[in-house]
């Protein structure tokens, strides 16, 4: 941690415990859909999708490497200068695969965050590679299908229901001697929320704060 030199003023005894609020924006919704013909006249079999999502989660999501971009690039590779989000979960619900992605503090992530905050309804679209068999005007994706990313953020997704909602989640932390403490703050917040009378609330706050300091 980098700080200013002491200006001669007496050190605030609370300055060692810096309370920080951090809000994280997520998008959540159907990222992938199987057994349905999308706008590009493609259909992904559920068996193919289940197998590939399992591989993708193991190789990328679980390791913090499942990245997506704002807009669809031309190729399958991930362009780090265009990354806007990180996929943190991808789970099956019937023929849909519900994803959750954290919007990152990258240039493209900030654009996505601004659009969401202004009420723009965004969609997601996957990128991948695989063989295609055409029958009756429908392109059926083969079992060799591999995801490059489960979700790029787009304005017009190919999957019928692949529109996502923005979710703002906040956490509060206390910095103590090189460690971040979250649990105590959360417990204090929950306890304060149960005090309804204003007089009780103020006394409750003081008691909990004293308890918190005694635990440090």
pLDDT along the chain (216 residues), means of 10: 38 33 81 90 93 97 96 86 96 95 95 90 86 89 90 80 52 46 49 52 59 56
CA distance 89 to 38: 23
> How do residues 137-155 score in pLDDT, each as one tens digit?
998 989 988 899 999 998 8
Q: What is the pLDDT of residue 97?
A: 96
Q: Tokens in use for 104?
A: 């990152």
**Annotated active-site residue in 84, 85, 125, 126:** 125
Question: Which pLDDT belongs to residue 117?
Answer: 87
Decide: helix, strand or coil at residue 119.
Answer: coil
pLDDT for 149: 93
For residues 12, 13, 19, 20, the Cα torsion angle rounded to the nearest 10 degrees is 50
Identify the active-site residue in 62, 72, 85, 191: 72
125 has catalytic annotation = yes
**pTM for the model:** 0.66
Per-residue pLDDT of 23-38, as tens digits, reads 889 999 899 999 999 8
Active site annotation includes 85: no
């Amino acid at each position: 941690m980098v700080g200013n030199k002491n200006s001669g003023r007496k050190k605030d005894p609370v300055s060692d415990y810096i309370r920080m609020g951090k809000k994280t924006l997520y998008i959540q919704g159907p990222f992938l859909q199987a057994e349905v013909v999308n706008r590009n006249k493609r259909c992904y079999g559920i068996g193919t999708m289940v197998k590939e999502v399992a591989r993708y989660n193991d190789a990328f999501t679980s390791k913090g490497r499942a990245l997506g971009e704002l807009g669809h690039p031309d190729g399958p590779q991930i362009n780090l200068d265009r990354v806007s989000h990180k996929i943190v979960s991808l789970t099956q619900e019937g023929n849909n695969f519900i994803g959750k992605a954290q919007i990152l503090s990258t240039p493209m992530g900030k654009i996505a965050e601004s659009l969401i905050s202004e009420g723009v309804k965004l969609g997601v679209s996957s990128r991948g590679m695989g063989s295609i068999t055409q029958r009756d005007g429908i392109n059926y994706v083969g079992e060799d299908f591999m995801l490059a990313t489960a979700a790029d953020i787009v304005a017009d997704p190919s999957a019928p229901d692949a529109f996502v909602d923005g979710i703002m989640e906040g956490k509060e932390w206390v910095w103590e001697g090189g460690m971040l403490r979250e649990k105590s703050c959360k417990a204090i917040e929950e306890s304060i929320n149960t005090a309804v009378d204003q007089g009780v609330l103020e006394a409750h706050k003081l008691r909990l704060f004293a308890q918190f300091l005694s635990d440090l």
